[in-house]
Amino acid sequence: MSQNYPPPHDDRSGAGRSGYPGQGGQGGQGGPPGSWNPPAPPPPPNAKRNWFVRHKVITVIGAVVVIGTIAGVANGGGSSSASDPSATGTAASSSATSSESSASASSSSSSSSPKSSAKKSSATKKSPGLNTPVKDGKLQFVVTKVRTGVSSVGDQYLGQKAQGQYVLVSVTVTNLGKDSQTLSDSDQEVKDSQGRTFKADSTADLYITGNQVLFSQINPGNSTHGVFAFDMPIGATPVSIELHDTSFFSDGATVSLR
């Protein structure tokens, strides 16, 4: 079977060429015969979407991180420098507080100084001496005499020899209370220059003639006289005597023996 083909165009006539005036080639847009039509414009390229739009998850995470960083800096997360006004203000405030504390401590020290001085002066204040009344509880004591270097007390028939030396302290005791008071010689103490304490020797007191201070009962307003004997080493120097009534709460009254 044979196939019929269309007759060939004459190339000289310009038939079938596109883009020439007066021809309806494929390059033209078509128009009335004999007119020139411009070629069709190319299709517009596909618009590219913004990077942040295409990566929404990463954009959101980045925004959260940035906001958190800014908030941390705003809340003082950054380091303070010398040029930072808030840091300077804090340092000045701390310095002022330290100065106030030092001033307060100095003021307390200076205010306590007079009290300390008063305590020291009262501690170094000399105790009452001989023939000066002192009081402990309801009893009043007056030391009238001190003898040292006594080797024995009593007489040739009834007496006692000292281990070292006897120091004899003569006293007058008066009951200032409203009830009868008992005086005990064993409650009395003598201290020497070395700070040692010696108790009265009740047996030696017993041998002293006319002694009235050995467990003596003193009625209100009455007085008694006697001697306390203290057996001390030879060469020891008595400095003071501490006198007590028989009360459980007795603080003692100190008399200087120098």
Q: Name the residue among 125, 198, 130 with its Cα closest to residue 166.
A: 198
56 three-class SS: helix
Alpha-carbon distance values, 168 to 10, 192, 200, 257 (Å): 171, 14, 9, 11
Q: Taking a C-beta distance cutoff of 8 angstroms, is the pair 166, 231 a contact?
A: yes
Which pLDDT value is given to residue 6?
Answer: 54
- 16 or 52: which leads in pLDDT: 52
Residue 91: pLDDT band by 50, 70, 90 thresholds? very low
Residue 16: pLDDT over 80: no
Q: Which two tokens stand for residue 35?
A: 């007119």
Global pTM reads 0.53
Torsions phi, psi of 206, nearest 5?
Answer: -65, -30
- Cα dihedral: 131, 133, 134, 139 (round 10): 120
Q: Beta 189-192 vs 139-154: how paired, if at all?
A: unpaired
Q: Name the residue among 144, 192, 206 with its Cα closest to residue 164.
A: 192
- 111 or 135: which leads in pLDDT: 135
- 34 or 91: which leads in pLDDT: 34
CA distance 121 to 9: 145
Q: Which region among 72-76, 179-183, 191-195 has the lowest average model confidence (pLDDT)?
A: 72-76
Residue 253: pLDDT over 80: yes
Q: Taking a C-beta distance cutoff of 8 angstroms, is the pair 162, 200 a contact?
A: no
Give 116-140 pLDDT, tens digit per residue: 555 555 445 688 999 999 999 999 9
Cβ contacts of residue 17 below 8 Å, gap of 6+?
A: 23, 25
Which pLDDT value is given to residue 228?
Answer: 96
DSSP string, 169-234: EEEEEEE-SSS-EEE-GGG-EEEETTS-EEE--HHHHHHSTT---SSEEE-TT-EEEEEEEEEE-T
| Domains within the chain, CATH numbers bracketed | 134-256 (2.60.40.1240)
Residue 246: pLDDT band by 50, 70, 90 thresholds? confident
- 8 or 163: which leads in pLDDT: 163
Residue 191: pLDDT over 70: yes
Q: To the nearest whole percent, how much of the chain has pLDDT over 70?
A: 54
90-97 average pLDDT score: 50
Residue 18: pLDDT band by 50, 70, 90 thresholds? very low
Alpha-carbon distance values, 203 to 118, 145, 165, 181, 193 (Å): 43, 20, 15, 22, 25
Q: Which region among 29-38, 96-105, 142-151 has the lowest average model confidence (pLDDT)?
A: 96-105
Which pLDDT value is given to residue 17?
Answer: 47
Q: Name the residue among 242, 238, 230 with its Cα closest to residue 257.
A: 238
